[in-house]
């Protein structure tokens, strides 16, 4: 599989042809979250001017107008029937003595529907936290405290109607990319409880924080709304979590990152992906399913079908052709201008034994 990162702003994704992408999974800069003020002001100086003039609502709108350009490009490059998945958090902020909520999710839904996207049921990502306080403000006194936001949104959009599978090989690839019955029951819930990740960046010359999501989040979305061999796009690549999830899912990926100073770090992260760590995640998925089957059998509940490829029982006939493979190698192919990486897989190896050797660049 091929993974390419372009180091330029996603408002213009000219390297990508029209209708060349199968799914977008991304988390943009969150408007009105202070850590993103400078990056967004660099793209439009009027944003900085709005803050200086104590006009936060104007700044909020100008920030979203920059994101609107990215969603328009996503519309252009996505195929009919493909999905746009956006992780976004709302913002709370005090400016000029006024504390207010800024509804990023509602503003993005408005923009994407205007482009023609169909908004499907969204997901609430409830981020587990160790913080003891569930409020902001004046403690135990009424009328002066505010609830703390403990969730973010995963907005789900589709371009046009359902994806059509006409050719035999397309139908076979779809069945090959199915997921386990018990995974479906968790993934297609409208509330996800996934622990967040550290948001500090080590050895980055341009900034010390990022907005990375845990790999479980893009991994689920990629497997829910695409199939093997598809092209996954992340217009805000950051530290490459979406690309790694695409590797684990046997998809191709393409990304855009505006911060050229992140290139050496991205090369190190993606070009040196630990094969052992990646294959451990794949093995855990398989073992989790085996545990589910064992527990179901112990309770004398039916597990009716066999998956001969994985060597295990499955719940439905749609799972009988499901396959996934251990990663073999990850190699940097080119890093002169863009960053191009290739991932390969063990296609004939049992999931019962994790490969113990790994090749790193």
More confident residue, 352 or 40: 40
Q: DSSP string of 38-92?
A: HHHHHH-HHHHHHHHTT-HHHHHHHHHHHHHHHHHHHHHHEEEEEEEEEEE--EE
What's the pLDDT tens digit per position in 59-95?
A: 999 999 999 999 999 999 999 999 999 999 999 999 9
DSSP class of residue 7 equals: -
pTM of the model: 0.93
Mean pLDDT on 290-313 = 96
CB 33 within 8 A of CB 89: yes
Question: How does residue 207 score in pLDDT terms, banded at 50, 70 and 90?
Answer: very low
232, HSE (Cβ side, Cα atoms, 13 Å) = 36
Determine the topology of domain 12-210+221-226 in CATH. Answer: Rossmann fold (3.40.50)
The structural domains of the chain, with segments of one domain joined by +, span: 12-210+221-226
Mean pLDDT on 219-240 = 98
């Amino acid at each position: 599989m091929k993974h390419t990162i372009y180091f330029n702003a996603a408002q213009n994704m000219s390297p990508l042809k029209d209708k060349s992408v199968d799914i977008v999974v991304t988390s943009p800069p969150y408007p009105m979250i202070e850590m993103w003020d400078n990056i967004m002001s660099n793209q439009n100086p009027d944003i900085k001017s709005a803050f200086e003039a104590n006009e936060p609502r104007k700044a909020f709108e100008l920030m979203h107008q920059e994101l609107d350009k990215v969603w328009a490009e996503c519309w252009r490059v996505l195929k009919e029937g493909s999905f746009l998945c956006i992780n976004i958090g709302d913002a709370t902020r005090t400016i000029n003595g006024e504390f207010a909520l800024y509804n990023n999710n509602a503003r993005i839904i408005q923009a994407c529907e205007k482009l023609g996207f169909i908004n499907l049921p969204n997901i609430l990502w409830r981020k587990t936290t160790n913080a003891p306080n569930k409020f902001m403000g004046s403690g135990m006194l009424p009328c002066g405290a505010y609830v703390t936001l403990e969730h973010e949104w995963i907005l789900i959009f589709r371009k046009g109607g359902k994806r059509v599978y006409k050719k035999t090989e397309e139908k076979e690839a779809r069945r090959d990319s199915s997921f386990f019955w018990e995974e479906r029951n968790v993934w297609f819930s409208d509330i996800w409880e996934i622990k967040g990740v550290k948001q500090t960046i080590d050895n980055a010359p341009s900034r010390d924080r990022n907005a990375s999501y845990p790999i479980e989040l893009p991994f689920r979305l990629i497997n829910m709304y695409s199939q093997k061999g598809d092209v996954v796009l992340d217009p805000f690549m950051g530290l490459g979590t979406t690309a790694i999830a695409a590797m684990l899912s046997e998809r191709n990926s393409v990304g855009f990152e505006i911060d050229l100073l992140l290139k050496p770090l991205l090369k190190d992260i993606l070009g040196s992906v630990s094969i052992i760590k990646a294959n451990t995640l794949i093995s855990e998925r398989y073992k989790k399913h085996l545990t589910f089957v064992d527990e179901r059998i112990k309770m004398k509940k039916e597990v009716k079908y066999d998956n001969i490829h994985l060597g295990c029982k499955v719940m439905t006939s749609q799972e009988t052709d499901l396959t996934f493979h251990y990663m073999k190698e990850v190699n940097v192919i080119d890093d002169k201008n863009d960053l191009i990486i290739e991932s390969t897989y063990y296609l004939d190896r049992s999931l019962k034994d994790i490969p113990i050797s790994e090749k790193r660049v």
